[in-house]
């Protein structure tokens, strides 16, 4: 089967559209986090946004290879959710949910179609991307929980906190409001993530 006439081409276009949306939503979230002073959280979100950019790039590359000629248009029927408000904690939860959907439903289904149509490489692309989205989902879930329970900068047991600005370290149950060395605000304290989350 030619990729140009396949369902897989349409799935690649849907995946591309989904990744572009996810990337933009995360850029919004990063913007909000930075505005609220969560500098280190914003950095983490930015890294995920960059991952989504590269997923989009890979999907786009496979679409390009479907024909030597210009592909004028691929009609895509897909959902375009607009769930987010300017609520950082809630948006982290929504991001985790979206990633879970991609990881466990959408990309495995696309991989199955690609396999049926004989596109082994593209099947692999969808499956590998699904694995990354699983990690993204866990990362966002972890960040959401930390925000919701107030444990981002405060724990039951003493731990080492490190300033991303100047490198100052200190072991205590909670992080400083303002770095004693460089005076950076709490948002510059490096976050503790679950091991499998990033
Ligand atoms: Fe992605
Ligand atoms: Fe993702």
Contact by Cβ (8 Å): 63, 122: no
Beta strands 169-174 and 154-162 are antiparallel
Ligand nearest to the CA of 100: 2
| Residue-level pLDDT at 196 | 54
69 contacts: CB under 8 Å, gap ≥ 6:
none
> Could you tell me the distance, in angstroms and rounded to a whole number, from the CA of residue 132 to the centre of ligand 1?
7
pLDDT at 7 over 80: yes
Distance (angstroms) between ligand 1 centre and the Cα of 170 equals 36
Distance CA 102, CA 116 (A): 20
CA of 129 to the centre of ligand 2 (A): 8
Cα-to-centroid distance, 52 and ligand 2 (Å): 6
C-alpha distances (whole Å) from 102 to each of 24, 39, 134 are 16, 27, 8
Residues 6+ apart with CB under 8 A from 19: 52, 53, 55, 56, 59
- 52 token code pair: 């989504």
Instruction: Give the C-alpha separation, 60 to 8, whole Å.
Output: 13
What is the CA(136)–ligand 2 centre distance, in A?
A: 5
- Domain 154-197, what fold? Rubrerythrin, domain 2 (2.20.28)
> For residue 187, how far is its CA from the centre of ligand 2 (angstroms)?
24
Whose tokens are 């505005």? That residue is 35
Once rounded to an integer, what is the mean pLDDT over residues 62-81?
A: 92
Q: At 80, is the pLDDT very low, low, confident or very high (cuts 50, 70, 90)?
A: confident
The ligand with the least distance to the CA atom of 134 is 2
Ordered by start, the domain boundaries in the chain are 3-149, 154-197
The alpha carbon of 16 and the centre of ligand 1 are apart by a number of angstroms equal to 9
C-alpha 22 – ligand 2 centre gap (Å):
7
Evaluate whether 154 touches 173 at the Cβ level (below 8 Å). yes
Å from CA of 193 to ligand 1 middle = 20
Residue 198 in this model has a pLDDT that exceeds 70? no
Q: Which ligand is nearest to the CA of 56?
A: 1
Compute the C-alpha angle 115/117/118, nearest 5°: 65
- Tokens standing for residue 11: 């799935």
Q: What is d(CA 101, CA 22) in angstroms, rounded to the nearest whole number?
A: 12
Q: Which overall architecture, per CATH, does domain 3-149 show? A: Up-down Bundle (1.20)
Identify any residues that bridge with 75 across adjacent strands, giving them in sequence order. Answer: none
Among the bound ligands, the one closest to the CA of 137: 2
Q: Contact 114/126 with Cβ under 8 angstroms?
A: yes
Can you tell me the distance from the alpha carbon of 13 to that of 125, in angstroms, rounded to the nearest whole number?
Answer: 14
Ligand 1 centre from 134 Cα, in Å? 10
Residue 108 CA to ligand 2 center (angstroms) comes to 14
pLDDT digit string (tens) for 118-160?
999 999 999 999 999 999 999 999 999 999 999 999 999 999 9
Compute the mean pLDDT over every residue in the chain, rounded to the nearest whole number: 96
Give the Å distance between the CA of 111 and the centre of ligand 1: 14
Residue with tokens 């592909």: 71
* pTM given for the model: 0.95
In this structure, the number of other CB atoms found within 10 A of the CB of residue 130 comes to: 20
Please name the helix (run of DSSP H) or strand (run of DSSP E) that holds residue 20, with its range, or none. Answer: helix 7-35
With tokens 């997923």, the residue in question is 55
């Amino acid at each position: 089967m030619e990729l140009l006439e396949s369902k897989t081409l349409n799935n690649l276009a849907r995946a591309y559209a989904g990744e572009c949306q996810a990337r933009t939503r995360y850029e919004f979230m990063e913007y909000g986090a930075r505005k609220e002073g969560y500098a280190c959280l914003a950095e983490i979100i930015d890294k995920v946004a960059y991952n989504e950019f590269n997923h989009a790039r890979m999907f786009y590359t496979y679409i390009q290879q479907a024909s030597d000629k210009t592909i004028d248009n691929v009609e895509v029927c897909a959902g375009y959710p607009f769930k987010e408000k300017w609520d950082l904690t809630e948006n982290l939860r929504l991001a985790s949910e979206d990633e879970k959907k991609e990881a466990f439903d959408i990309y495995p289904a696309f991989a199955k179609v690609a396999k049926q149509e004989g596109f082994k490489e593209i099947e692999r692309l969808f499956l590998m991307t699904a694995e990354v989205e699983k990690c993204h989902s866990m990362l966002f879930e972890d960040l959401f929980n930390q925000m919701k329970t107030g444990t981002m900068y405060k724990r039951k047991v003493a731990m080492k906190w490190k300033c991303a600005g100047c490198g100052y370290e200190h072991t205590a149950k909670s992080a400083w409001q303002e770095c004693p060395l460089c005076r950076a605000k709490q948002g510059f304290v490096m976050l503790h993530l679950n091991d499998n989350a990033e």
